C-alpha cells in the first residue's frame, strides 16, 4: 500500500514537472520577441487547463471550482484585450483556486489578500524547496527510473566520444562532417532571453501546480479580543461626533451654496478651480471618517451600544455621503471645463466605492454585523467593479466624450487634445473617425486624417501577427475600414508622427513607439 502511494506521488510529481516544462516551452513559442496580445490569453488558458487536470482538489472544492471558472473568464478577457488589470485578476482567481482546498474555511477577504501576498512572495522559493524534498525522498528510497541506468551508459558514451574525437583528427571525412555541424544553432536555441523565459514561465506554473503551504495559509482568522483604545469613551466619542457634524455641515453648506446651486463664486475663484481643488482632499476626509467609525464603533463596545452615539454616527455618515457626492460633482465640473481621461473615470468609480463603503458601515452598525461581513461586502463590490473595468474600454469612453464635447466639434468643452487621443491608441480610433467625418475645419480634418492613418498602420502590423492579435482590435479595425469605405475617406501610410501639428522624428524600425506627448492644446494639463 505504501509503495503504491509512493508511486502515485512520484507519477504526479513527474507529470507536474513535465507540464510546467511544457508550459515553459509554450511561453517561448508565444512570447519570445513578440508583442503582448491574445498570446497572453492563450497561455493563461493553457495554465488553467493544466491546473484543472493535475490538481483534482481544485475541481472538488467549491472555492477551487469558483476560482477556476473565474480564471477562465479572465483568460478570455486577456484574449479579447490584454491589460494589467485583467492579468492581475486572473492570477488572483487561479491562486484562489489552488489555495482554497488547503485552507480550513473561507473567513474574510482581508485574510485572503494576505494569503495571496504570501503565495506571491513564495513563488521563487517553490522549486528549490521541492527539489530539496525530492532529493531527501530519493535518498530514503531505492533509485528508480532512468537514474539506475546512468552507471551503465556512462562508460560507453564517454569512451565513444573519445574515440570519435581521435577518428575526426585522423580521418578528414569524419573531421569535415563534424566541422559542418552548426554550433550557432545550439547557441540560438539556448540563448539567454530564451532561457530566461523558460525559467520564468516554469517558476510561475510550478507555483500553481505545487503551491507551498504555510501555517498562515491554513489557519482561519482568529477572533481577537475587543480592542481598547485609550481616550475612546462614550463622552469623548459623543463630543467628537458633535464637533465633526458641525464642521461637515459647514463644508456641505458651502458646497450647496456654490457648487450645487450655481451661485457666483468670490472674485478670483473659478468654478473649475473650486471643483478640482477639493475633489481628492474631500475623499480623503470621507475615508478618515469611515476609519473613525470603524475603530470607535466596534460591535459589542460600549460606544456602539449608545443610542445617542449611533444617531450621531448616522447623521455624520449621511453628511459624508453628501460630501462624496459633492466630490463627484466637482470632478464632473472639472471634466466639463477641461476633458475626460481614464484616470478621471477611475477617480469617479473610486468615489462611488467610497460612498458605498460608508453606507455599508451604517448597515453594519444598524444590523450588528461582524467585521468579516463588512470586509467581504466591500471586497465583493470592489471585485465586481474591477471585473467590469477589465472588460469595458475606458479609453474609448474618454475619447468619445472628448470628441463630442470638443470646441472644434461645436461642443461646450475645451479644445481637442489630439496628443492625448493619440496616446489612447486603438481606443480612440472610432471616435477620431466620427469627428473626421463631421468636422468642417480643413486643418483639423487633415490632422485627424493623419492620426487615424498612423493609428491604423500600427494596428495593421499588430493584427497581422497572431501573437499580438486581439479580438477587440480586430473588431475596431474592421469597423473602421467599413466606415472609411462608406464615407470614401483617404487611407494611406502615414509619414512622420505629428502632435498638435509639429513633426516628430519617426520611431525606430525595431519597435513600435507610442506617439510622444507635447504641450496639449488645453489650458489645463491633462491628468
Whether residue 349 contacts residue 389, with contact meaning beta carbons closer than 8 Å, is answered with: yes
Examine the domain organization and report whether 214 and 267 are in the same domain: no
516 within some domain: no
pTM of the full structure:
0.76
Examine the domain organization and report whether 122 and 136 are in the same domain: yes
523 within some domain: no
Examine the domain organization and report whether 24 and 111 are in the same domain: yes
Residue 499 bridge partners (DSSP): 502
C-alpha to C-alpha distances, 388 to 74, 89, 112, 119, nearest whole angstrom: 11, 11, 21, 25
501: left (phi over 0), alpha (psi -120 to 50) or beta: left
Domain stop point among 377, 392, 407: 392
Domain extent, residue 94, equals: 1-182+191-219
511 within some domain: no
351 within some domain: yes
Examine the domain organization and report whether 355 and 409 are in the same domain: no
Examine the domain organization and report whether 171 and 284 are in the same domain: no
Domain stop point among 392, 413, 447: 392
153 within some domain: yes
pLDDT tens-digit map of 309-340:
888 888 888 888 888 888 888 888 888 878 88
Examine the domain organization and report whether 142 and 204 are in the same domain: yes
Examine the domain organization and report whether 78 and 174 are in the same domain: yes
As for how many domains the chain has, the answer is: 3
Distance (Å, rounded) from C-alpha 466 to C-alpha 460? 12
Helix or strand holding residue 407 (H, E):
none
Examine the domain organization and report whether 113 and 62 are in the same domain: yes
pLDDT tens-digit map of 395-454:
999 999 998 888 776 666 677 888 888 889 899 999 999 888 888 888 888 888 888 888
Examine the domain organization and report whether 143 and 79 are in the same domain: yes
Dihedrals φ, ψ of 327, to 5°? -65, -40
527 within some domain: no
434 within some domain: yes
pLDDT tens-digit map of 373-400:
888 888 999 999 999 999 999 999 999 9
Whether residue 50 contacts residue 89, with contact meaning beta carbons closer than 8 Å, is answered with: no
What is the residue-level pLDDT of the chain in tens, covering all 527 positions? Answer: 445 444 555 557 788 888 988 998 899 888 887 888 899 999 999 999 999 999 988 888 888 899 999 999 999 999 999 999 999 999 999 999 998 887 766 777 878 888 888 888 888 887 888 777 766 766 655 554 555 555 555 666 776 767 667 666 766 766 667 666 655 555 556 677 788 888 888 989 988 988 876 665 555 555 544 555 566 678 888 888 888 888 888 888 888 887 787 677 677 666 666 666 666 676 777 778 777 877 777 777 777 778 888 888 888 888 888 888 888 888 888 888 788 899 889 889 988 988 898 898 888 888 888 878 888 888 999 999 999 999 999 999 999 999 888 877 666 667 788 888 888 989 999 999 988 888 888 888 888 888 888 899 989 988 988 888 999 999 999 999 999 988 888 887 765 555 544 444 443 333 333 443 333 333 344 44
415 within some domain: yes
Distance (Å, rounded) from C-alpha 94 to C-alpha 68? 6
Examine the domain organization and report whether 381 and 448 are in the same domain: no
Q: Interior CA angle at 429 toward 77 and 336, to 5°?
A: 95
Examine the domain organization and report whether 10 and 156 are in the same domain: yes
Examine the domain organization and report whether 206 and 248 are in the same domain: no
Amino acid at each position: 500500500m505504501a509503495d503504491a502511494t509512493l508511486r502515485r506521488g512520484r507519477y504526479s510529481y513527474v507529470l507536474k514537472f513535465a507540464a510546467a516544462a511544457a508550459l515553459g516551452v509554450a511561453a517561448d513559442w508565444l512570447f519570445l520577441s513578440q508583442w503582448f496580445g491574445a498570446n497572453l490569453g492563450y497561455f493563461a488558458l493553457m495554465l488553467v487547463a493544466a491546473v484543472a487536470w493535475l490538481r483534482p482538489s481544485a475541481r472538488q472544492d467549491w472555492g477551487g471550482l469558483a476560482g477556476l471558472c473565474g480564471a477562465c473568464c479572465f483568460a478570455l478577457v486577456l484574449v479579447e484585450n490584454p491589460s494589467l488589470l485583467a492579468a492581475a485578476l486572473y492570477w488572483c482567481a487561479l491562486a484562489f483556486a489552488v489555495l482554497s482546498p488547503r485552507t480550513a474555511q473561507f473567513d474574510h477577504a482581508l485574510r485572503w489578500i494576505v494569503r495571496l501576498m504570501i503565495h506571491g512572495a513564495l513563488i521563487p522559493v517553490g522549486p528549490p524547496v521541492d527539489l530539496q524534498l525530492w532529493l531527501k525522498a530519493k535518498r530514503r528510497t531505492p533509485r528508480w527510473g532512468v537514474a539506475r541506468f546512468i552507471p551503465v551508459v556512462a562508460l560507453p558514451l564517454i569512451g565513444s566520444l573519445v574515440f570519435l574525437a581521435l577518428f575526426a583528427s585522423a580521418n578528414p571525412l569524419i573531421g569535415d562532417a563534424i566541422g559542418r555541424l552548426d554550433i550557432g544553432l545550439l547557441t540560438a536555441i539556448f540563448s539567454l532571453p530564451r532561457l530566461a523565459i523558460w525559467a520564468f514561465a516554469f517558476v510561475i506554473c510550478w507555483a500553481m501546480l505545487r503551491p507551498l503551504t504555510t501555517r498562515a495559509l491554513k489557519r482561519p482568522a482568529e477572533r481577537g479580543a475587543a480592542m481598547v483604545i485609550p481616550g475612546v469613551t462614550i463622552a469623548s466619542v459623543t463630543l467628537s461626533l458633535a464637533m465633526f457634524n458641525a464642521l461637515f455641515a459647514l463644508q456641505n453648506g458651502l458646497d450647496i451654496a456654490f457648487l450645487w446651486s450655481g451661485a457666483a463664486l468670490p472674485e478670483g475663484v473659478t468654478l473649475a478651480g473650486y471643483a478640482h481643488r477639493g475633489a481628492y482632499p474631500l475623499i480623503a476626509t470621507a475615508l478618515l471618517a469611515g476609519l473613525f467609525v470603524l475603530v470607535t464603533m466596534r460591535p459589542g463596545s460600549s460606544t456602539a451600544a449608545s443610542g445617542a452615539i449611533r444617531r450621531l454616527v448616522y447623521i455624520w455618515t449621511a453628511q459624508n455621503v453628501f460630501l462624496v457626492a459633492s466630490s463627484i460633482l466637482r470632478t464632473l465640473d472639472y471634466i466639463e471645463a477641461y476633458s475626460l481621461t481614464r484616470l478621471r473615470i477611475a477617480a469617479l468609480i473610486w468615489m462611488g466605492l467610497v460612498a458605498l463603503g460608508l453606507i455599508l458601515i451604517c448597515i453594519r452598525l444598524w444590523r450588528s454585523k461582524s467585521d468579516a461581513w463588512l470586509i467581504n461586502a466591500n471586497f465583493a463590490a470592489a471585485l465586481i467593479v474591477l471585473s467590469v473595468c477589465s472588460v469595458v474600454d475606458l479609453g474609448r469612453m474618454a475619447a468619445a466624450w472628448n470628441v463630442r464635447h470638443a470646441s472644434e466639434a461645436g461642443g461646450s468643452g475645451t479644445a481637442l487634445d489630439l496628443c492625448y487621443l493619440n496616446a489612447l491608441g486603438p481606443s480612440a480610433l472610432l471616435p477620431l473617425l466620427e469627428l473626421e467625418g463631421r468636422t468642417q475645419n480643413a486643418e483639423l480634418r487633415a490632422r485627424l486624417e493623419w492620426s487615424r492613418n498612423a493609428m491604423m498602420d500600427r494596428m495593421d502590423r499588430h493584427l497581422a501577427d497572431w501573437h499580438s492579435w486581439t479580438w477587440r482590435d480586430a473588431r475596431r479595425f474592421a469597423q473602421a475600414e467599413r466606415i472609411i469605405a462608406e464615407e470614401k475617406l483617404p487611407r494611406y501610410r502615414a509619414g512622420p508622427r505629428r502632435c498638435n501639428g509639429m513633426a516628430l522624428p519617426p520611431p525606430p524600425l525595431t519597435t513600435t513607439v507610442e506617439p510622444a506627448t507635447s504641450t496639449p492644446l488645453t489650458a489645463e494639463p491633462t491628468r
